[in-house]
Amino acid sequence: MYVKAENGSVVKYPYNDNDLRIDNPNTSFPAQLNDSLRESWNVFPVTVEAGSAFDPFTQKEVKNSEPTLVNGTWTLGRTIIDLSAGEQQAYFDEQVRKYELEVQKHMDQKVSEREYDSMISACTYATSTNSKYGPEGLACVVWRDAVWDKCYEILAEVQAGTRQHPTIEELIDELPELVWP
């Protein structure tokens, strides 16, 4: 990532080697350009400012649109902005949907151990009179309810701010285990 700058001011950003060739059609450049050559044409590398961590549930990162010259280095800064209550809720809802999809996938994978197509399919056997399928289906219904209860308990704690949001793996690790009959 490069910037074309003159006298400490941005002329064009972003800027790349192709831009340099187009801007200077009567110049023969080598196939591979180096930073020293670029600098002779007022083209400089841009460093992205490292920043502190932020909580995506309550804040967002906004990258500056143009780099600034900081201690001789062109730097692209960033700003951390607090989300509005509506933005926080929208982000939370989006994350909840991701958690739900992963929890559902986890349950589907678990019941596939007994060759059920999905959790939904396994639960339909709860009323079966078959001595194998009936008890397995009932165990799946009980487990499904316990999983969703625990999942939503955790998410309610996150939304209330009483705990940090877990990774998908951490959430799944906290869910009850399926006990087959």
Higher pLDDT, 50 or 154: 154
Q: Give residue 52's pLDDT.
A: 67
pLDDT score of 21? 95
For residue 159, the model assigns a pLDDT of 87
Q: Are residues 95 and 67 in the same domain?
A: no
Considering the domain architecture, whether residues 93 and 113 belong to the same structural domain is answered as yes
Per-residue pLDDT tens digits for 108-126: 999 999 999 999 999 999 9
Q: Give the DSSP per-residue string, 142-177.
A: HHHHHHHHHHHHHHHHHHHTSSPPPPHHHHHHHSPP
More confident residue, 17 or 1: 17
* 169 and 94 both lie in a single domain: yes
In this structure, the answer to whether residues 27 and 62 fall within a common structural domain is yes
114 domain residue, yes or no: yes
Give the pair of three-digit tokens for residue 115: 């060759």
Task: Please check whether residue 181 lies inside any domain of the structure.
Answer: no
Whether 102 and 34 share a structural domain: no
Neighbours of 102 (CB within 10 A): 16
Percentage of the residues of the chain whose pLDDT score is greater than 90: 78
- Looking at residue 2, its pLDDT comes to 96
Based on the fold, state whether residues 76 and 136 are members of the same structural domain.
Answer: no
The pLDDT value recorded for residue 79 is 82
Percent of all residues in the chain with a pLDDT value above 70, rounded to a whole number: 99
Provide the whole-model pTM. Answer: 0.65
48 within some domain: yes
pLDDT tens across 75-103, in order? 988 888 899 999 999 999 999 999 999 99
Give the type of residue at 83. Answer: L
Average pLDDT, the chain: 93
* Full domain range(s) for residue 141: 85-174
